[in-house]
Amino acid sequence: MNRDDHPESDLLGAYRRIAAIVDPPPADVLAAARAAFLTRDLDGAIAVLVADSRASVGYQPVRAEPDQAQGHWLLTFEGGGIRADLEVGEDAAGLRLLGLLSGTAEGDCELEQAGVRRPVEVDALGRFVVAGVSHGPIRLRCRAADGTRVTTAWVTI
Amino acid sequence: MEELDLAGLVRRIRAGDAVAWAALTARYTNLLWSVARGLGMGDADAADAVQTAWLRLVEKIDDIRDPDRLGSWLATVVRRECHNIRRRAARVEPGEPDGPDGWESIGAVTDPLDDRLLRDERDAALWRAFAGLRPDCQRLLRVLMADPQPSYAEVSAALDMAIGSIGPTRQRCLACLRGLLDENLFEPPPNAKHSGQGARGR
């Protein structure tokens, strides 16, 4: 039954049993994992994350006086004919996204998080602000100028 | 636990089979949760990291070339997400922790763990002994506690650790654990970082 034939396996087995009691994955985590399949998008193109100020790719790390409470960072997605720049900031109401889109059709853009989609109001210059966003994985769903639906890759904010 | 036919599952998932997807999540969510916990994430952050891994997989399911390495791929995504999440609170160097210590520099993982649910005093003592281990041992053993038991390839991906060092490290950590248990089976470990942890709620 167990492919573990080490002599300590009894002890580890006891801990596996205890972890199942004390620290199992919560039911909502299991349910969210199953529900993730609903986000499958067969025809949309994907704009991938090409730069993330938190990682060592794309941007020079921002080292000048970052405010820990603000903790904002920059994300850039490209693909499917669009580019989306996002600045994630934090204020009392939660997270705030400042966005700049290019290559998208006017209107018709939404922010998706935990199965909920909310429309994003994009101005004529492609800018938008969304306030009160919770921590967790998000993505943008927009339409490129040629009509293709494009979603950004998921990113956890 | 019988081995899943991962290639078959991936084929079915690509064809839109939600049952196959559910089977995959049932197989790996416990491992991913264990990885996030092992890396010291609290409830909400661990949930985000695990969910992000599943969302990424949905996004990439058509690109998976080697379904047998799916567990390792998911574990890697969770490890990276945990680090990204950690950075949103604290200002640290970009990239994963590196240098001689790597993840070693990150604190112990016992914070979210609680023995209040353990009715059996012996189990509670085991859990308290675990809290007295060094952080690197806690990390490794917490991942090895995943159910079903992870492969060493998955553990290696989860902790960014050479496969060859997992066996010896595990042996050393379990030996430490036995030492702690022999020393003081029913008392909270003397030098535990979170010495109040084991006694909470008792």
The least confident of A108-122, B24-38, B92-106, B159-173 is: B92-106
For B:135-154, CB contacts with A below 8 A are 141-142, 144-147, 149
As a CATH number, domain A42-156 is 2.60.40
Are residues B18 and B86 both part of a single domain?
yes
Residues A132, B60: Cα–Cα separation, whole Å: 29
Yes or no: say if B39 and B76 are a contact pair by the CB < 8 Å rule.
no
User: Considering only CB atoms, which chain A residues are within 8 Å of B1?
Assistant: 1
Task: Give residue B135's identity as a one-letter amino acid code.
Answer: P
- Find the CATH number of the domain harbouring B166: 1.10.10.10
CATH 2.60.40 location in chain A = 42-156
The count of structural domains within chain B is: 2
Please answer yes or no on whether B50 and A25 come within 8 Å at the CB atom. Answer: yes
Yes or no: say if A47 and A82 are a contact pair by the CB < 8 Å rule.
yes
Domain that holds residue B175: 109-183
Which alpha helices (H) appear in chain B, and where do they start and end?
6-14, 18-38, 43-60, 70-89, 121-131, 135-144, 152-159, 163-183
Q: Which pLDDT value is given to residue B125? A: 87
Q: What ipTM score was computed for the predicted complex, to two decimals?
A: 0.80
Share of chain B above pLDDT 70, in %: 75
The least confident of A112-121, B25-34, B37-46 is: A112-121
Residues A141, B144: Cα–Cα separation, whole Å: 38
Are residues B118 and B85 both part of a single domain?
no
Structural domain includes residue B197: no
Q: What is the dihedral of CA B6, B73, A10, B191, to 10 degrees?
A: -160
Structural domain includes residue B154: yes
Are residues B121 and B38 both part of a single domain?
no
pLDDT (tens digit per residue) in A86-123:
999 888 888 999 999 999 887 789 999 988 899 999 99
pLDDT (tens digit per residue) in B86-137:
877 554 444 555 444 455 545 545 544 566 677 788 888 888 899 999 999 9
Q: Which pLDDT value is given to residue B90? A: 56
- Find the CATH number of the domain harbouring B73: 1.10.1740.10
For B:46-65, CB contacts with A below 8 A are 46-52, 54-59, 61
Are residues B57 and B18 both part of a single domain?
yes
Are residues B91 and B138 both part of a single domain?
no
Please answer yes or no on whether B50 and A33 come within 8 Å at the CB atom. Answer: yes
